[in-house]
Structure 1
């Protein structure tokens, strides 16, 4: 049968990314305890398309996923990126694998254990012979408004905040390390299960540690700047305000390599 996608195209317009989006597949991720977490990831896979080709071969993306057993690991994720660009005869490729990641946490006073879930992702980019893998993690924290605390006679308003860190590492970095770094820079971290003594502790911890959204991203940036393994990063923080009908938002991007 004729390869329609392989026909020439006379519009002389290249496409930066073409492929498949939001396909789910089993994955296996090693956590810091030495155990494997079996979960389901959502994949988006793209390649560039030169101007002289009419289309790409969409079925090959799915075939590449299916070719890596039933579960994909971090190691096979890297292999998939190279395989995808080669099989689709592309100069550049992009794979994003996002998945829920679980960490067992102990409540600060009672010590009761519960699981916290975080949305994590590996993002692979390949351009010619250059290959990069970014790690992204979304971490919910509590923030308490310094201004509200300063002007109020009783209490202060707080909110849940979503902090997202996307980092390019020269060395190995555990997801747990990024999660703990972010949690340490909120007013207080979140837990899946708290007893009453724990609730007292986290409420008072937040009150004693007020932070604006600007403080959160700056404090995280300081920590990442001091980590020699981190080559570049992007930090966002969104406060889902409890007394306003809007969110507060801040973003910092920095590429340490540009300063070298």
Structure 2
């Protein structure tokens, strides 16, 4: 059988990231005694030296599927304690299958959390987009954690110039932290930092009294998109260690365009 991947390419250039992307599977995580089930999307890449034509893609897929099977066989309670630990487990298995100097595993999924509505105190299940990356370099392992949260803003400028009336809009904020792999940061804590920085959170379930409370909260807490971005990074710098990136997009209700505020530390 010919291993064409091992041939010398016509153009000798090192490639930094080659692999599989948009691979969907199942993952079960036991985070501090609480069991989560995810249907994540994986991206797994390694570097390719200049003297190799390509990589053995099936070995990357095997590293994912075998890691998932191992978790199921061990009933997950002794397997993976976080999404980043799962990502590192894939890399460790890949180390035995395919030579490389650098590897990355990125896991995208949704985290569902219980929230209490502001007036009726009913439980509302809220969905948040999250992404976790594990990056293995020759001398170190880093991780990246990203959360995307939907909230609302009320414009303070219109309120100040329109007898207390103003326009409101949905805003989407992204908080990303890159840090040492061993730094413990909970995705739930990152979500809390972002969600508490809007004029008001949004909810899947709202009874009439809850809807009234949300509107009242927004009008009593008007913010520019700039205010939201500043508050997120201020809180994140106090709570987390690492390189922090914040991006907030406001889907304007009175314009045909959106507005953006972005910062990093």
TM-score (normalizing by structure 2): 0.90
Alignment size in residue pairs: 252
Partner of 1:243: 254
Match of 1:125 among 132, 135, 138: 135
**1:54 & 1:27 partners in 2: Cα distance?**
32
Contact 1:107 1:193 in 2 (8 A): yes
8 Å CA contact 2:108, 2:132 repeated in 1 = yes
Confirm or deny: 8 A CA contact 1:31 1:174 kept in the other structure.
no
Give the 5 Å matches for 1:3-82. Answer: 3-30=3-30, 34-70=33-69, 73=80, 74=82, 75-82=85-92
CA distance in 1 between counterparts of 2:154 and 2:18 reads 43
- Name the SS for the 1:223 alignment partner: helix
**Structure 1 residue 154 displacement after superposition:** 5.2
Tell me if 1:200 matches 2:199: no
User: Which residue of the other structure, out of 78, 83, 89, is the alignment partner of 2:93?
Assistant: 83
Matches within 5 A, 1:219-258: 219-227=231-239, 229-254=240-265
- Find the aligned partners of 2:45 and 2:108 in 1 and give their Cα distance: 15
Q: Identify unmatched segments of 5+ residues in structure 2.
A: 72-78
Match of 1:217 in 2: 229
Equivalent residue number for residue 150 of structure 1: 160
C-alpha displacement of 1:135: 1.1
Q: TM-score, normalised by structure 1?
A: 0.91
Instruction: Give the structure 2 partner of residue 107 of structure 1.
Output: 117
Report if aligned partners of 1:92, 1:126 keep a CA contact under 8 Å in 2: yes
**3-state SS of 1:97 partner:** strand
Contact 1:47 1:85 in 2 (8 A): no
Greater strand percent: which structure? 1
Structure 1 stretches of 4+ moved >4 Å: none
Distance 1:86 1:235 in 2: 37
Quote the Cα distance in structure 2 between the aligned partners of 1:201 and 1:129.
Answer: 52
CA 1:207/1:56 → structure 2, altered by over 3 Å: closer, same or farther? same
Separation in structure 2 between the aligned mates of residue 120 and residue 240 of structure 1, nearest angstrom: 20
Q: Which residue in 2 is equivalent to 1:185?
A: 197
* Two-structure CA RMSD over aligned residues (Å): 1.7
